Structure 1
């Protein structure tokens, strides 16, 4: 099986002249993987949503690779996305910052160092300009406002007001920390952040209820069924069929 011209073009456009060692040691796997990931998948994602630009395509893939624990793959794709894929330094950083709320610092830690290495190697001065949009005094109210755009203001109020006293702090954390400190940051707009959260949760596995919640959230911020299906299509080569199909089931539950 030869690599198709389309797959070669798309691969080389992203990775340039980088030589894959796996293409030498495992040529059969890389040939059919590249044909799938860089030809079939790109074509079907574009058919579903032709307005989902290459930078956003790469960002959702990076979010999923991170959540799946693919540090070596993340380094390769992130470096290429920065140089050739139109992904900005602040967007790389914000993907990792946002991941802390989804996968925890224990996993995000290595990816933060990876992004710092990639940016430094590219000549980007650190730290980047700050993207926080709240303070310690405003983070809860700001977070409630951002969360309200995703699940509805009434739902936010109900969670904070109706949850038992011994667990209400989790709802406060969601509003203030997850949404106020993290999702409400600048650097990436909210519809794309919801796609990133969806991608991380699908790739993480074992978070079916949260995936369904963020299918709903994506729809509320303007992302469509077709866009979510395009994202799942782009994720499949990196996270496999079981988690992709679980994500598809969640999309179907809320859009069919």
Structure 2
């Protein structure tokens, strides 16, 4: 009996030791995700502060005084996560941001974001050209309203206005040059569209589209065609309800050498400003047109 008891005791101790050895790695494995979460949270906070300083400097939103929780959520998403990810560089991010603010009439943010655009190296000409690019899509009143706070920011920084003209067309060449830019983006399908336009609609579908939208804007200096087409994708996506135009400009971007991931990353940059419904609708258009990319 004594031998049996001793044997059982030794077996019990061995089982307990084995259990402890097995449970230690399991405990570490369970603890690892928690440590990762803490590390990721700290990284997000550090990235928020770093990117906020890079883009905004010491500027503080007026909303931060009245609604600090909302501002913290916004900035940790925008500067703590989105700003460090994806294929867009800082200049592209700021151009996309400015045209989206103009499109959504979010003018309270425009002055601070103009200062941010200048801080990361965009020129006054590039900023103005990005906003001019909005005019055929959101109209002149919306574009001119957005230019108000931009001009205020320029004046406060001692930037002389007007900036140098970037126009390249004449009254005689605007249709021809616009058609050339249009076909560079969309190919010979433009000829078919012109030919099939009903007689009573040709002013809109042919003359105004080629001469005004493309001739007066896409031919301007200051931004190249791939950048203008990326911004146009952002503008029509931010408008909402423009899925046919979004799809057309998804293909236009692909033709200009902008990748599917470029467009997806532009939508990520836009998300805090336009919300999920419009972002997801535009993402669906990207996936429908560039299925194999």
User: How far apart are residue 172 of structure 1 and its match?
Assistant: 1.5
Query: SS at the partner of 1:4?
Result: helix
Given the two structures, how large is their TM-score scaled by the length of structure 2?
A: 0.82
After TM superposition, the structure 1 = structure 2 runs for residues 130-141 of structure 1, keeping only pairs within 5 Å, are: 130-141=165-176
Name the structure 2 match of 1:53. 89
Give yes or no for contact 2:111–2:152 (8 Å, CA) kept in 1. no
Give yes or no for contact 2:105–2:146 (8 Å, CA) kept in 1. no
Given the two structures, how large is their TM-score scaled by the length of structure 1?
A: 0.93
After TM superposition, the structure 1 = structure 2 runs for residues 54-69 of structure 1, keeping only pairs within 5 Å, are: 54-69=90-105
Q: What stretches of structure 1 of length at least 5 have no aligned partner?
A: none
Structure number with the bigger relative contact order (C-alpha 8 A, sep ≥ 6) is 1
User: How far apart are residue 127 of structure 1 and its match?
Assistant: 1.6
1:206-235: per-residue Cα shift (whole Å, max 9, x none)? 111111110010000000001111111111
Q: What stretches of structure 2 of length at least 5 have no aligned partner?
A: 1-40
Give yes or no for contact 1:22–1:30 (8 Å, CA) kept in 2. yes
- 2-side partners of 1:130 and 1:120: how far apart? 18
1:161 maps to 2:195: yes
Aligned residues, how many? 249
Name the structure 2 match of 1:213. 248
Name the structure 2 match of 1:232. 267
Give yes or no for contact 2:47–2:81 (8 Å, CA) kept in 1. no
Q: CA RMSD in A?
A: 1.5
User: How far apart are residue 30 of structure 1 and its match?
Assistant: 1.6
User: How far apart are residue 114 of structure 1 and its match?
Assistant: 2.2
1:75-131: per-residue Cα shift (whole Å, max 9, x none)? 22112211x121110011112211111100121121122222222221111121111
- 2-side partners of 1:181 and 1:187: how far apart? 13
Query: SS at the partner of 1:69?
Result: coil
Q: Give the greater-gyration-radius structure (CA).
A: 2
Name the structure 2 match of 1:76. 112
The equivalent position to 1:36 in structure 2, one of 71, 74, 77, is: 77
With 22-31 and 9-18 compared, the bigger mean Cα shift is at: 22-31
Name the structure 1 match of 2:178. 143
- 2-side partners of 1:25 and 1:116: how far apart? 27
With 174-183 and 123-132 compared, the bigger mean Cα shift is at: 123-132
Name the structure 2 match of 1:195. 230
| Change in 2 beyond 3 A, CA 1:21/1:117 | closer
Name the structure 1 match of 2:145. 110
With 227-236 and 2-11 compared, the bigger mean Cα shift is at: 2-11
| Change in 2 beyond 3 A, CA 1:116/1:147 | same
- 2-side partners of 1:148 and 1:164: how far apart? 20
Give yes or no for contact 2:179–2:214 (8 Å, CA) kept in 1. yes
